[in-house]
Amino acid sequence: MSNPPLTTAPQAIDPAFENVWDELVWRGLVHVSTDQEALRALLGGDPVTYYCGFDPTAPSLHLGNLVQLLTLRRIQLAGHKPLGLVGGSTGLIGDPRPTAERTLNTRETVEEWVGRLRMQVERYLSFEGENAARMVNNLDWTAPMSAIDFLREIGKHYRVGTMLKKDAVAARLNSDEGISYTEFSYQILQGMDFLELYRQYDCVLQTGGSDQWGNLTSGTDLIRRAEGVSAHAIGTPLITNSDGTKFGKSEGNAIWLDAEMCSPYRMYQFWLSTADSDVIERLKIFTFLTRSEIEEYENLVETEPFRRAAQKRLALEVVATVHEADATAAVIAASDALFGQGDLSTLDAATLRSALDELPNATVAVGTSVVDALVATGLVVSLSEARRAIAQGGVSLDGVRIEDETAAVQGTLPGGVSVLRRGKKTLAGVFIG
């Protein structure tokens, strides 16, 4: 199948803003920060070096991390020099979770995940030109350091009283689990990263999630104490849905950036389901659409919400950013075809199968009756209900209405699968096995 070319927003700073700082604020990316006037002047001046760190506590980054990746890219587009840090040392510990101690992964696992995350981060940055990005690994400067050197050179700058007040530490101290010295020390390691990057690359800004604010200021405080200079930090907001629920990382069901852990089709459908009350905020944070373009979509949400134009553009932009253009075109074609706006037989086999994985589905033998397949997939609860649905003309197989209850499933679509539909919108996948 030949998919039409996709039209997506170019990655660029919006010319409507005088300073990238103003754009970050408008997009809602500054939840907390060090001195705002100083940051505005910093980002509006000569190129500076800045960084964001990503710990390999999983084999892939997720949508929460995408906020940081796109923030790194926006600041680079303004002419500044990004450092992408993957935490080979901090990943061996993990930052304190609010409720319980992390399970420590093996060194081999962390090393493997460092490589995977590094490749993901590299996708979002440019490594060419005067402000080319650079990747760093904090294991490079922590591994050679002895415990005595760590305590003498870094630990002496920290005050336990201040460390105890950090939100993540305070929450754990008040829990039944308490906190180990290992996780308590995490903020010192992250602070040391900032100091080391300042010394090596003159790095003066760190970005991260606002839930990491204690760790971000650990670095700014350490640089001030050790070097006598001011460094800066920006904490982006934690993204939640308008109803207050966690965004994009529900327990056991995270929206990962790795296509093997979360298919492009699933990611596309995730964005399509964005509520009207959330979609404009998502367009600001997760796309490079300009302010004027987003204001047009805001008007469409108000006047023609049934068209879901903002959601469709959001899904297109994000999936095209995270995955290849061809994969994005394929999932759009699959989504349209599954819901009656395209030819199922022309779809890419892998994309169709991943789409059916997201639907109710069942594996049946070739030649199984449509009646039995309807029950197996859960589209109906009984054989009699299946026969009644067929008699009423409400069942189709692979886009063709079924009129004979003896019709059989053959798996004629690409990849040897079939699609059952009951009514207009209720779908199920049938795999032949």
Cα gap 288→24, rounded to integer Å? 12
Q: What is the pLDDT of residues 252-291, one digit of tens each?
A: 568 999 999 999 999 999 999 999 999 999 999 999 999 9
Q: Which residues are 125's β-sheet partners?
A: none
Averaged over successive runs of 10 residues, the pLDDT of the chain (433 residues) comes to 67 96 98 98 98 96 96 98 97 83 91 97 97 98 95 93 85 83 91 98 97 94 97 94 70 82 94 96 98 98 97 97 92 89 90 92 95 96 95 93 93 94 91 91
Which domains are delineated in the chain? 31-238 (3.40.50.620), 239-357 (1.10.240.10), 359-433 (3.10.290.10)
From residue 274, how far is each of 148, 242, 247, 293 by CA, in Å? 52, 10, 10, 18
The three-point CA angle 73-77-83 to 5° equals 50
Q: What is the pLDDT of residue 1?
A: 36
Q: In this prediction, what percent of the chain has a pLDDT beyond 90? A: 81
Residue 3 confidence (pLDDT): 46
The pLDDT value given to residue 11:
97
* CB neighbour list of residue 250: distance below 8 Å, 6 or more residues apart: none
Q: Give the per-residue pLDDT at 425.
A: 82
Q: Alpha carbon 340 to chain centroid distance?
A: 29
Res 247: pLDDT: 75
> For the chain, what is the HEC assignment?
CCCCCCCCCCCCCCCCCCCHHHHHHHCCCCCEECCHHHHHHHHCCCCCEEEEEECCCCCCCEHHHHHHHHHHHHHHHCCCEEEEEECCCHHHCCCCCCCCCCCCCCHHHHHHHHHHHHHHHHCCCCCCCCCCCEEEECHHHHCCCCHHHHHHHHHHHCCHHHHHHCHHHHHHHCCCCCCCHHHHCHHHHHHHHHHHHHHHHCEEEEEEEHHHHHHHHHHHHHHHHHHCCCCEEEEECCCECCCCCECCEECCEECECCCCCCCHHHHHHHHHCCCHHHHHHHHHHHCCCCHHHHHHHHHHHHHCHHHCHHHHHHHHHHHHHHCCHHHHHHHHHHHHHHCCCCCHHHCCHHHHHHHHHCCCEEEECCCCEHHHHHHHHCCCCCHHHHHHHHHCCCEEECCEECCCCCCECCCCECCCEEEEEECCCEEEEEEEC
Cβ–Cβ < 8 Å for 41, 95: no
Report the interhelical angle of 276-286 vs 309-322 (nearest 10°). 30
